[in-house]
Structure 1
């Protein structure tokens, strides 16, 4: 794109912003601006996405990520009312006078019962048919906590896998494959800070504790200009801010893990805190069983190794209300998985022994310092400084004490391999609401990346070994971006969101600039029916080297370099949305089609892996190619009433092409699935009894299997002919989960007992397929034919968990 064309695109997309600025220079009618925050009356928590509407003029807005809103109306001098509405809260009418601007703090009361419905006469909040955004889904946390879960562990990522256009990596996995993309193409934000590995237990659980969360939003397409750096999706997760009124706590005890969350005021109405912790005890539960097995095999107690695995999470957040216009937040998260093995063997009578410690660990550390400031009643700014690091490491330590010619001697040896990525980021986001027909956002970000794809260190105290070495260096890169966007109501029927994002990435003296136009539009056919369209160009400057595709800790994060270029994609989407009302119940229906070509994707070359990978050689292990993803999605959702849930269906294709893989021919992506269907139902029989269930169906994963095996040469070398890549399909996957929860009210709070069934009808779903050789008896009779065998991971799994709140 030449310079003139870039300037033209920028002017065209940002013209609403320019028009707004020009109008600000002209004499304008007198106006009154009502701005401030909407908060939970009982906790002081800022509420996100609350509708603030002026019914008389049908003008409205909604609160941003920090609960701030601004609504400008003609200053007529009349007394009127603002309607404030949010799911799960009682709607409120706020009296105001249209004579001057006013700062408001609106406190909404939680609904007295989830089973009640409230009828409101007048304008309603912006529904799915009115909004310009496409491919965006917000799941209420109450539904996330109600969906059945494996081992009773409520998991945000597993709930998101139940949405159309989102797939899991396999049985029990929580990787997100969004619209044909890979896990590294998802930007996962926790309080605005990127999380590079969102998995525990090799992908079976996520790092997010639902008790500590306030809002979860997934963007699959039609990306606003404020988001950048990934090709497939944005998962924006906000933590709770802590109760400013009184001390509260909640937690749970499950089969494999327990959790606890505490929150309360540091100074009432001024400062608050929240701390949330979780830990598994798989290692403690498994240890007696492992000892029984080793005892049955005759292994003496003093010769048994100690092995185990556990993970833990810790979230913490403090916020200070510095004044009516300023608020300061400090938040942090740390989580780690640890697999360990310890062994000690004592021999002889002189204190001789040998011992070994092995370990595999991986985890995240994030922190954020944020400052919210209301510059004036129409302009809000959020500035935050963040740090994020992900690291995995493998280590071996050996020690031997022996006597050499009667002289005691202790030999020590250690070997460690690690890989990590860390970021420092400074970002400012501005929200400017000059008129109800304009919602302008603009800002910028600078990121300092540091990559260490692989480093090895070995130490020995034996001078004869000569194996003391350290291999691996760091690669540093700088990323900068600017963006501007405007959600502009052109007419009552036509609404646009136009924006532009400018990026740059500097690594090893190589600069990669990028211009990314973004546009989305909706046209109202009726008050409840709309047509939508969007276009987004995206660039990703970091890659994930993976062998498995399921987000194992051995996956390595690497940067674009002069030799390996950044990934690029475009996404075009068309769709329709409808607000439905049936028997006094509200539903949302959306239909979307999309097409997403991707360039400069990378994969390991045939036979390459992370083993031995260092900063200096990883570029020689990869090859570059392109991909295509396209399909259609249907989503019907109900968020309130006795019965809630959704139905989703996806018809999709995802393909790849690499010159050095599969003989340069196009092949289906490993998680290319033709059909995906999901049903989620949550029914509240009474305020204390709830039944929920999910049913999922998906076309089987694509895998590569040998078409034949040949014996060659005098040494009888066996050769496998694998044929085209991913040319075989596993059996279709389907599963039903159920959960029954009963709440008991106590004087001090409440206790919820939950009984759940994972894979309720015990479907033998394929996890992987292996080849089983045949054999003959000594007379040449075939005793077993060679065949492929399927391994299924989980049968029906019952579980019980107990949660509490006070």
Structure 2
């Protein structure tokens, strides 16, 4: 890692030398692009010279740099989806700093959208397998119970398979949920779900941007195999106090943002803040119903809350500080007065990021981040025995805590090159489990599992290069490092993606990426509780690794504001892990064997592969917007100790997946939207039959054969025969249709919106799980065993109220 740091310092020195020796025939225009009215930094704004192939885009902090030949003047254009394009004539005699404010614009009439030769054109980007969804669209799409959810929208994209009905689980191109790197302001979020997976932890009112990368990964990202989901919080309004919020059926939210200090007349504050909170009131609404049903004998409560906060301050023209954080928690409590038992369940995330931006010169931009991330899951159960009056206490804890230091450089030597380099180190502390069983009779079984400390690091360099008017290339190399006790790994990760312009607005693209993953998620295969266990690579469990190749075409229909991408991919995964048959995390610390059993004894390593094709037609602007996506894919896993060593389809392998999303601005006061989704059913392991089996261990002696048979049946239990093939049963196809209508009204000092939405409009009974059950005999049919399908959500209407001021 020392070598990587020296390399970065050397790059800075080279950059300074290049600057000192810059030919007089070229000058640099640099600056920031912000939103008019709030001074929010805008990410991914296109800055270009109209009529040429010369251009660049703003980085995560709204900074851009463009080097051009010396001349009297030229015209620069600044364009971004959802904002009015700005053109400005600038002198090119000396280096200049130009900061631009873009005005948000809502297009309600069908007009030709012409962003210019390099404006918002997917065909000219070297990257592929990248999808971004404007937050404005996220807020208009029909949502379950009115909760606007970024991850639910990502599930509607091709290549992304959703989990069970209503859940936020994400499975990208055959990978598991642990193979997605979810980043919020540089901090890793390990569990992104509320309400047992039905909602995500991300409050859409506080999010500025979201981007999904599912292949062709740039070298700056590492540590996961399947995808990167990068989210950035809003910085906060620098000009005036602003707020927005909403009241729904199960939760309410409020966001406030404004300047940190009073700004001068006609100017802006050097800093701003944002604070956003959300809480559900399910515990309040459900309590009377539960008490009435159980007559007060059982009390059950559940709620979740989350809080986002951010502050930033300009220390000068070249230095900026950002401090942001997230804290969220889910809590479930059950009190059984009959059984005299208490159960508490809680899980949540906490993150904090301190960032320092420094501008060395007009071509060299740096960011230093100090990052904290913490995920905890806890179960507490206390029960008093009815016979012995002994107190039984069970505690289970699982978690992962990270401390990270990250340093990144953005260097813009010329319009043909955009170089990024950086280094990151992370200290992980894992708490795989800790069980305490307190009872005076069996106190000898008390046990606690020690924490596991590991180190992970990476150094990278990448370059986005335009060697000619037809070629766009992004090449890079990441060197990853992992250390756990005596085990260490140093692995290179080459990345390459490129586009060849077949003709204007049409390109052929290809990419290759090798990824390594040093943390693993042991996930239970059942429904419900987030009892997932994060564990590190050890001397017995190797790092996961994937290689992915993708090819495709990208087409821009500029006049219609449409983009079309068609991609085919093949991904191979090695050393993926899974539980052995019959194993689960609860066996890791069984009180009778905790001192001799390690979690590694319960897992097996294998391999997997996935391939398929994806189609996406997307429209981000205009009176009518939305997208149509289709995925055709195959995914198989193979483990020596599962399914007799034969390959099998994992649960979320889906042959076909379709999503149609439409948003229509009827007028300034009414917005209509609808979604329709279809997916091939999940691959499940179902019992082939069930029978009664004698439970041994009870001694008896009878002379009467009838009494013997009766005793056998009294000591028998139902056994289900699953056969030898894993996941050989296919559930019924999943599909549903959601609609919503929003009614907007602009008041003098605020704007309010009423939304009426219907989830699953035609009341499709989608399968949630299946179970074999006995059917009682009738006069015409004998008793039999049948397979029953259970559904969770029928048609679900909801009403919500949103406001801005």
TM-score (ref. length: structure 2)? 0.91
Deviation at 1:60, TM superposition (A): 0.6
Partner of 1:67: 62
Label 1:793 to 1:58 Cα distance change in 2 as closer, same or farther (>3 A): same
Deviation at 1:782, TM superposition (A): 4.9
Partner of 1:514: 491
Is 1:758 the counterpart of 2:759? The answer is: yes
Label 1:158 to 1:120 Cα distance change in 2 as closer, same or farther (>3 A): closer
Match of 1:223 among 203, 217, 223: 217
Partner of 2:353: 368
Is 1:206 the counterpart of 2:200? The answer is: yes
For 1:195 and 1:564, the matched residues in 2 are separated by 23
Partner of 1:91: 85
Partner of 1:283: 283
Partner of 2:371: 386
For 2:529 and 2:384, the matched residues in 1 are separated by 30
Label 1:21 to 1:668 Cα distance change in 2 as closer, same or farther (>3 A): farther
* 8 Å Cα contact 1:88/1:110 also seen in 2: yes
Label 1:769 to 1:413 Cα distance change in 2 as closer, same or farther (>3 A): closer
Partner of 2:791: 792
- Helix, strand or coil at the partner of 1:157: helix
Label 1:119 to 1:397 Cα distance change in 2 as closer, same or farther (>3 A): closer
Partner of 1:47: 42
Match of 1:322 among 294, 315, 318: 315
Q: How does 1:3-402 map to 2 (within 5 A)?
A: 28-55=23-50, 57-76=52-71, 78-111=72-105, 113-115=107-109, 117=111, 123-267=117-261, 268=263, 269-295=269-295, 301=296, 304-342=297-335, 356-397=341-382
Label 1:552 to 1:464 Cα distance change in 2 as closer, same or farther (>3 A): closer
For 1:390 and 1:81, the matched residues in 2 are separated by 50
- Helix, strand or coil at the partner of 1:500: strand
Q: How does 1:658-737 map to 2 (within 5 A)?
A: 658-709=639-690, 715=712, 718=719, 720-737=721-738
Please give the per-residue CA displacement for 1:689-746, whole angstroms capped at 9, x wherever unaligned. 0000000011111011122345667856745143310111111111100000001122
For 2:20 and 2:803, the matched residues in 1 are separated by 57
For 2:574 and 2:276, the matched residues in 1 are separated by 41
Deviation at 1:509, TM superposition (A): 1.5
Label 1:334 to 1:522 Cα distance change in 2 as closer, same or farther (>3 A): same
TM-score (ref. length: structure 1)? 0.91
* 8 Å Cα contact 2:290/2:298 also seen in 1: no
Label 1:548 to 1:392 Cα distance change in 2 as closer, same or farther (>3 A): same
Partner of 1:609: 584
Deviation at 1:170, TM superposition (A): 1.6
- Helix, strand or coil at the partner of 2:27: strand
Label 1:466 to 1:26 Cα distance change in 2 as closer, same or farther (>3 A): closer
For 2:173 and 2:434, the matched residues in 1 are separated by 34
Please give the per-residue CA displacement for 1:76-128, whole angstroms capped at 9, x wherever unaligned. 2x022211111111111223210111122211111265547476685441411
Q: Which moved more, 1:105-114 or 1:379-388?
A: 105-114
For 1:642 and 1:558, the matched residues in 2 are separated by 48
Deviation at 1:566, TM superposition (A): 0.6
Please give the per-residue CA displacement for 1:558-614, whole angstroms capped at 9, x wherever unaligned. 001010001000000000000014xx4210000000000100011100110111425
Label 1:632 to 1:401 Cα distance change in 2 as closer, same or farther (>3 A): closer
- Helix, strand or coil at the partner of 2:89: strand
Label 1:551 to 1:212 Cα distance change in 2 as closer, same or farther (>3 A): farther
* 8 Å Cα contact 1:113/1:687 also seen in 2: no
Label 1:25 to 1:80 Cα distance change in 2 as closer, same or farther (>3 A): closer
Partner of 2:412: 433
Label 1:231 to 1:551 Cα distance change in 2 as closer, same or farther (>3 A): farther
Give the strand-richer structure, 1 or 2: 1
Deviation at 1:549, TM superposition (A): 6.9
Partner of 1:454: 433
Deviation at 1:30, TM superposition (A): 2.1
For 1:586 and 1:744, the matched residues in 2 are separated by 28
* 8 Å Cα contact 2:128/2:511 also seen in 1: yes
Partner of 1:298: none
Partner of 2:568: 593
Partner of 1:348: none
Deviation at 1:36, TM superposition (A): 1.3
* 8 Å Cα contact 1:169/1:549 also seen in 2: no
For 1:554 and 1:729, the matched residues in 2 are separated by 25
For 1:28 and 1:793, the matched residues in 2 are separated by 68
Label 1:22 to 1:722 Cα distance change in 2 as closer, same or farther (>3 A): farther
* 8 Å Cα contact 1:203/1:550 also seen in 2: no
For 1:709 and 1:391, the matched residues in 2 are separated by 39
- Helix, strand or coil at the partner of 1:786: strand
Please give the per-residue CA displacement for 1:763-796, whole angstroms capped at 9, x wherever unaligned. 111111100124558x9x8543211010011111
* 8 Å Cα contact 1:458/1:467 also seen in 2: no
Q: Which moved more, 1:712-721 or 1:469-478?
A: 712-721
Match of 2:402 among 409, 423, 430: 423
* 8 Å Cα contact 2:688/2:720 also seen in 1: no
For 1:588 and 1:17, the matched residues in 2 are separated by 38
Uncovered stretches (5+) of structure 1, i.e. residues with no partner: 1-6, 296-300, 346-353, 405-409
For 2:116 and 2:378, the matched residues in 1 are separated by 59
Label 1:624 to 1:756 Cα distance change in 2 as closer, same or farther (>3 A): same
Please give the per-residue CA displacement for 1:229-269, whole angstroms capped at 9, x wherever unaligned. 00000000000001000001100010111111011111132
For 2:286 and 2:294, the matched residues in 1 are separated by 12
For 2:87 and 2:450, the matched residues in 1 are separated by 61
* 8 Å Cα contact 2:15/2:364 also seen in 1: no
Label 1:258 to 1:648 Cα distance change in 2 as closer, same or farther (>3 A): same
For 1:33 and 1:271, the matched residues in 2 are separated by 27
* 8 Å Cα contact 2:107/2:622 also seen in 1: no
Please give the per-residue CA displacement for 1:504-545, whole angstroms capped at 9, x wherever unaligned. 100121001111000001000001110000000000001100
Partner of 1:632: 613
For 2:528 and 2:505, the matched residues in 1 are separated by 41
Deviation at 1:132, TM superposition (A): 0.8
Label 1:64 to 1:144 Cα distance change in 2 as closer, same or farther (>3 A): same
Report the number of matched residues.
765
Partner of 2:557: 580
Is 1:471 the counterpart of 2:456? The answer is: no
Label 1:465 to 1:514 Cα distance change in 2 as closer, same or farther (>3 A): closer
Is 1:544 the counterpart of 2:521? The answer is: yes
Please give the per-residue CA displacement for 1:202-222, whole angstroms capped at 9, x wherever unaligned. 110000000000000000000
Uncovered stretches (5+) of structure 2, i.e. residues with no partner: 264-268, 695-708
* 8 Å Cα contact 2:358/2:366 also seen in 1: yes
